[in-house]
């Protein structure tokens, strides 16, 4: 009688690859999740492919950062090197995806370049995103995850890809991304240098209709997939977007959502496995066609 079911192919695993480490480094606030070396990244991706999940989303953690995030467009930078390695390892078995944002690569931790007054410069950032898109596509990324929430980012990247003939590279637009407190553990995962917050370009958690408006803009600019992030605290926004979208809608079960369930389960306060499945089912029930989750491989094993 169940109206909503889970399938491994609907799950996508976020993975972190860090420059300059010799063995995987555990992320304290996210038990079971690590920053990978290039070798362990390939092994983890192979395990994900064997589990039958839909894809992996790669994030890079560089050793050096600067004001414009130069490492993001360096062909030999950690994210692009990791993408090539994973694409060669499992590119025919699952969809290799990359995070297209500058926050991991800037010394100030913001998702874009800053102007003389220290504010994020939207249009200057779009130029960097265009270059990032080309670098990631050429490294083997099949879907670019535009997570920076800059106005016009989808149109800018679409134009860059089309101009270079990279018409088979899809755009995943983080269309409704909120300035959430639940990103906390992710800051550790990417060794974020952020001071302050991102409320000038991410959305106000109080705004529901704005989420739908942002998604509609990305539809018009040529996105292939829409994303709502976070997931569990924004199921109403997810349902709104899914109701009007004629392209796939995904959701990101973020680090704080993962950490809360793991922490409560570790204290014996909830049934971990049931809570994990219930959380994912609720996201699918609200309208997500696929879910980015750190439990992707583990849950795929349960479903099999």
**Which 8-state DSSP code applies to residue 204?**
P
Which pair of structure tokens corresponds to residue 119?
Answer: 């504010």
Catalytic residue among 177, 215, 228, 276: 177
Rounded Cα gap, residues 215 and 210, in angstroms: 9
Pick from 210, 220, 227, 133: nearest CA to 175:
227
Q: 274: Cβ–Cβ under 8 A, 6 or more apart, which residues?
A: none
- 177 tagged catalytic: yes
Pick from 139, 151, 152, 73: nearest CA to 106:
73
CA–CA distances in Å: residue 1 to residues 123, 283, 286: 50, 18, 17
Degrees, nearest 5: CA angle 112-183-141 = 55
Rounded Cα gap, residues 142 and 145, in angstroms: 10
Rounded Cα gap, residues 213 and 228, in angstroms: 12
Which pair of structure tokens corresponds to residue 255?
Answer: 């680090």
The 3-class SS string of 23-84 reads CCEECCCCCCCEEECHHHHHHHHHHHHHHCCCEEEEEEECCCCECCCHHHCCCCCHHHHHHH
- 229 tagged catalytic: yes
Could you list the active site residues?
177, 229
């Amino acid at each position: 009688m169940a109206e909503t079911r889970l399938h491994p192919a609907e799950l996508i695993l976020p993975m972190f690859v860090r420059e300059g480490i010799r063995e995987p480094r555990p992320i304290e606030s996210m038990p079971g999740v690590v920053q990978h070396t290039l070798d362990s990244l390939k092994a983890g991706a192979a395990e994900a492919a064997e589990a039958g999940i839909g894809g992996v989303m790669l994030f890079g953690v560089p050793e050096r950062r600067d004001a414009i995030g130069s490492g993001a467009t360096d062909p030999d930078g950690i994210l692009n090197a990791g993408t090539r390695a994973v694409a060669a390892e499992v590119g025919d078995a699952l969809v290799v995806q990359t995070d297209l944002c500058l926050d991991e690569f800037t010394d100030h931790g913001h998702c874009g370049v800053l102007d003389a007054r220290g504010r994020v410069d939207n249009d200057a950032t779009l130029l960097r995103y265009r270059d990032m898109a080309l670098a990631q596509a050429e490294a083997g990324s099949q879907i670019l995850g535009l997570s920076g929430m800059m106005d016009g980012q989808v149109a800018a990247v679409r134009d860059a890809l089309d101009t270079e003939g990279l018409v088979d590279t899809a755009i995943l637009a983080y269309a409704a991304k909120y300035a959430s407190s639940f990103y906390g553990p992710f800051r550790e995962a990417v060794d974020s240098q952020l001071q302050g917050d991102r409320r000038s370009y991410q959305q106000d958690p109080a705004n529901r209709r704005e989420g739908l408006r942002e998604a509609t803009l990305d539809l018009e600019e040529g996105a292939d997939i829409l994303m709502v992030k976070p997931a569990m605290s924004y199921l109403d926004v997810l349902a709104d977007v899914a109701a009007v979208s004629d392209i796939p809608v995904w959701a990101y079960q973020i680090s704080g959502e993962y950490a809360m369930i793991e922490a409560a389960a570790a204290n014996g306060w909830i049934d971990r496995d049931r809570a994990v499945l219930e959380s994912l089912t609720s996201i699918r029930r609200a309208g997500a066609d696929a879910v980015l989750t750190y439990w992707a491989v583990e849950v795929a094993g349960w479903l099999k």
